[in-house]
Amino acid sequence: MKAFFEGIQTLFVDFLFWPYDQLRSLELTSWWSANIVNWMFIIICICAMAYWTIQLNIFKNNNEDEDDTTAHSFLK
């Protein structure tokens, strides 16, 4: 049973977390490069927000947007 858990440890520590170890060692030379994963997520979120805003404007310009405060029956 001990060998089973050591095998799981080897899988994660030596193989699956290897890219994160490389990023951690890269941080000593370049902070920007070490945080490339974070920057990719930030760029994806900015693109999603821009797309969402554009879609909202399209619906508003076509008068398909219902901004009446009584749009729901429970708000009457």
Tell me the per-residue pLDDT of 22-71, one tens digit each, with 9 for 90 and over. 888 888 898 888 888 899 999 999 999 999 999 999 988 888 877 666 66
What span, in angstroms and rounded, lies between the C-alpha atoms of 14 and 1? 20
> What pLDDT is stored for residue 34 in this prediction?
84
CA distance 22 to 14: 12
pLDDT value, residue 54: 96
Residues whose CB falls within 8 Å of the CB of residue 75, separated by 6 or more in sequence, listed in order: 69
